[in-house]
Structure 1
Amino acid sequence: MSSRTFSPTTAQLCRLLSQEETACRRLLDTVHEERAAIRALAITEFHAINCRRLSILESLQALADERQRIVHELAGRQGLPPATSIHGLLDHLKSAASAELQAVYRSYMAAAKTVRDEIKQNVVLIEGIRGVVDQALSAGTAVVPGQELYTADGQSSGAGRLNMLIHQRG
């Protein structure tokens, strides 16, 4: 097989992996925006952030589908089984073009790993905030005795949960 027939497809795969890396970097930007919104408790910003994220994820899926098609084509040209992964293809290739392809693939994978790690940090942040909110809500459930206490529906009460009572003053 001539390298002339093979090279355009590896070059195409390199371009595709670069596009996937760029999309991962855009996704990373949305993860950072989300973190800022979480820290500021800016709930109204989440919809726009999630819309951008969904659009990026859809483009990543389209790129991944195209990558799989190219890998399948390259594997067939190399006499590899149709179910060969990109890892198997990279292991099989021994040309100068494969060194560039491997470098581009490593760079893409590093970007994808960074996105995954940053998303995990946002999950930890959200869980921390959820824990604080849960503690704050449960802190007011103590039963308190008292006079001139009223439930939310206006009924007089001698004791009840603190966060469910209104105390008449003055």
Structure 2
Amino acid sequence: MSAKTLYEKLVESHTIRELDNEGHVLLYIDRSILNEYTSPQAFSGLRERGRTVRHPDTFLLNIDHVNPTRSQRDDLMTDPGGQLQVDYFRENAADFGITLFDVLDPRQGIEHVVAHEQGLVMPGMVIAAGDSHTTTYGAFGALALVSGRRKLNICWPRRRWFTASSKPCA
């Protein structure tokens, strides 16, 4: 038995099936973590297709991009566009039955900090999210997959992800 990297172990343990002979696999997703800034188009895509998410309890929505940074917490957005994003995010959380760490929720904070603070990111998990900082979950022994809205729209309904399995560096 040869030694394996953490990446290889996580891909192997989460592979649903191989898609071809070129290293493309279908992965099982343990958790999806989203914010109000990167998710609106993906939610709109689900609505347009009449789809929902499987196991909404494995999703986390966290407002952290457009909320005020004032020392006194409130949910008054100073930017009208930001308010629209927050309103749509709240609507999506309610309609899809997904937990939301809203602005006044004591658990709310920076998306990539609160997830592991709340025990939602653990070693050995595969995490999918649409934010460029998603890779920080790798520090906790998780495989973090960053995606655009189109791929999130595809993976949410079934909690699956297709990817090309990377080769280890020599």
TM over 0.5: no
Name the TM-score class by shorter chain: under 0.3
Q: Which structure is larger by alpha-carbon Rg, 1 or 2? A: 1
Tell me the TM-score normalized by structure 2.
0.23
TM-score, normalised to structure 1's length? 0.23
Greater relative CO (CA pairs within 8 A, separation 6+)? 2
Relative to its length, the structure with more strand (as a share) is 2
